[in-house]
Amino acid sequence: MANLEVPKELREEARKHDMYLTPISKDTYELFFGPQHMATENFSIILKMDGNRIERAIVNPGFLHRGFEKLAEQRPYFTNIALILRICVPESDVPENIYSMAVDEIMGWEVPERAIWIRTTVLEMARLSAWMFWIMGFGNEIGLYTAGQWAAAYRERLMRLFEELTGGRVYHIYTVPGGVRRDIPGDRWLRQLRDTVEYIKSKLKDFDEILFDNYIMFERTEGVGVMDKRFALKHAVTGPNLRAVGVPYDVRKDDPYYLYPELDFEVPVLKEGDSLARVLVRRYEIEQDLYILEQLLDMGPPSGPYMVQDPKLKNLPRFKVPAGDAYAHVESTKGDFGVYMVSNGTHKPYRVHFRGPSQSHGVTVLEELLKGARLADVPVILKTLDNCPPDIDR
């Protein structure tokens, strides 16, 4: 592809329209990647290409901007739950949970143990389903479609469990400040969850065979999109991407919340910092998530109420929160997901500001990593960074 030849007439035509192919040197042109591309998911990158090499990448987000932070300022606290979970679509429990954690902190509530157990389980289930979604996307990008077919089918089992627990399929609207909205539907649900965990665990071997051990995957990812430790820290890279450059930072260990201090799990760390390392770290984390879910099921849900008892909750539309501010964050599959909330004592939050992991992964880091990469590596870099455009836009 190095000597890409653009027909002369087309070049003349394009010059007339002054864009699309801007001939700087012989093979230099501008390429619009997305938003109508499967890998980018509503996100556009303007690539300045030199032949097949990317000279410069300019990220153009904003296709999903809905102004959540403004809308959240205009709605009561509980109502916001139905709104802000749309920030992270594959893992919609994460925004719910951080929002609830922040409100709990300002209110000074002790959330009941049963609610804590349910929240932890829901978060881990959300992580697992997000991993399945990621396997699907990643498999499709590197051309191993079979893994994607399987992952999407296994994810449906988790979706079904979510449906029975929360009443929603994708948007659960389940975790609210002070607890959760419904109780566990019964022991049958717990048994089903255990079955599903066992099932996915047994299928992990198949994923290894077809995707993670596959030499195609190694060839596509090895040495692509390398970053070093200093770069990663300066660019606020978090989550599996940071662990792939040798920093063992995991919010669940370093700023523990919910039941995580009592759970036993490992933090995988690799030093290479290329796409392959990021993939392998993720693969190991899937195992750990299954292990955590098993531990949670062994622990069993403690008895008691699933919602905090507070007379203020009698009138939900006018539920007031005292003045104050709080920052809460959890470990999502994409990285450190946080929220900064300011309350001024009324029934609406004064300011809610979200910190999506893709805000750093998807803009500056991506622009840096794409410099000098080949065009065919763009989807690989996008998917191994696990870029999620709604995080950036909100």
Partner 1 sequence: MTMPARVVGEEKVKIKKSFVKPWMGIKYLFKKPVTIKIPFEKIEPAPKYRGFHTLDWKKCVGCNFCGQICPARAIEMTWLEVDGKMEKRPHPKVDYGRCTFCQFCVDVCPTGALGFTEAYYLSTGGSEEDLELFNWVPIHPDKVRELNEKFGDYRFPVEKIEKKADGTYVYHLRDGSTIEFKILGYGIRPPKKPTPTKPTAKTAEKKETKPAEKKENVKQAEKKEGA
Partner 2 sequence: MSERKNDEFISYELKEFKLFEPLFRWARKKSLWIVAFCTGCGGIEMPPLATARYDFERFGIMPNPAPRMGDLFLITGYVTPKTLKRIIITYEMMQDPKYVLAHGSCPINGGVYWDSYNVVKQLDKYIPIDVAIAGCMPRAEAVMQGIMDIIRKIENGEADGWKRYRENYEWYRKNQDELFGEGWREKDAKRWLAWL
Partner 3 sequence: MAVNDNKVETVEKAEEKKPELPNTKEGNLVRELLEKAPYAEGSVRREKRIEFRVPAERIHEFLELASETFEMLMQISVVDWLKENEFELVYQLWSVSESVHAFVKTRVPRENAKLPTVMDIWPVAETYEREAHEFFGIVFEGNPRLGPFILEPREYEKHPLRKDFNTLSYVKTIYGEDFDRYDESKTNYVI
32 binds, among partner 2, partner 1, partner 3, none (CB under 5 to 8 A by kind): partner 2
Residues 87-146, interacting with partner 2 (CB under 8 A): 89-90, 133, 136-137
CB 381 within 8 A of CB 368: no
24 binds partner 2 (CB under 8 A): no
Structure tokens belonging to residue 127: 């992580």
Cβ proximity to partner 3, 197 vs 232, nearer residue = 232
17 binds partner 2 (CB under 8 A): yes
Residues that bind partner 3 (CB under 8 A): 61-62, 65, 67, 69-71, 74-76, 79, 105-106, 108, 233-236, 238, 247, 249, 254-255, 317-318, 324-327, 329, 336, 338, 340, 342, 347, 350-351, 353, 355, 359-360, 363-365, 392-393
Tell me the C-alpha distance between 350 and 73, whole Å.
6
58 binds partner 2 (CB under 8 A): no
Q: Using N-to-C axis directions, what is the helix angle for 145-166 and 113-141, rounded to 10°?
A: 160
109 binds, among partner 3, partner 1, partner 2, none (CB under 5 to 8 A by kind): none
CB 335 within 8 A of CB 197: no
| Residue 50 CB contacts under 8 Å (≥ 6 apart), including other chains | 25, 27, 28
CB 114 within 8 A of CB 303: yes
CB 260 within 8 A of CB 253: yes
Cβ proximity to partner 1, 39 vs 244, nearer residue = 244
Tell me the C-alpha distance between 271 and 12, whole Å.
49
209 binds, among partner 2, partner 3, partner 1, none (CB under 5 to 8 A by kind): partner 1
Residues 73-92, interacting with partner 2 (CB under 8 A): 74, 82-83, 86, 89-90
Amino acid at 88: C
31 binds partner 2 (CB under 8 A): no
Give min distance, CB of 236 to partner 1, in A. Answer: 20
38 binds partner 2 (CB under 8 A): yes
| Residue 302 CB contacts under 8 Å (≥ 6 apart), including other chains | 113, 114, 117
Cβ proximity to partner 3, 200 vs 251, nearer residue = 251
Residue matched to tokens 């498999």: 139
Structure tokens belonging to residue 365: 């880091």
Residues that bind partner 1 (CB under 8 A): 75-76, 78-83, 146, 150, 153, 156, 160, 163-164, 167-168, 171, 173, 181-182, 185, 206, 208-210, 212-218, 248, 250, 253-254, 256, 261, 264-271, 280-281, 283-284, 316-317
353 binds, among partner 2, partner 1, partner 3, none (CB under 5 to 8 A by kind): partner 3
Amino acid at 126: A
Structure tokens belonging to residue 148: 């994607």
Give min distance, CB of 347 to partner 3, in A. Answer: 7
First to last CA, the chain: 38
317 binds partner 2 (CB under 8 A): no
| Residue 40 CB contacts under 8 Å (≥ 6 apart), including other chains | 33, 34, 382, 389
Candidate list 1, 4, 58, 153; residue touching partner 2; CB under 8 A = 153
CB 361 within 8 A of CB 61: no
Amino acid at 300: G
Tell me which residues touch partner 2 (CB under 8 A): 13-14, 17-21, 32, 35-38, 41-42, 62-67, 70-71, 74, 82-83, 86, 89-90, 133, 136-137, 148-150, 152-153, 155-156, 159, 169-171, 390
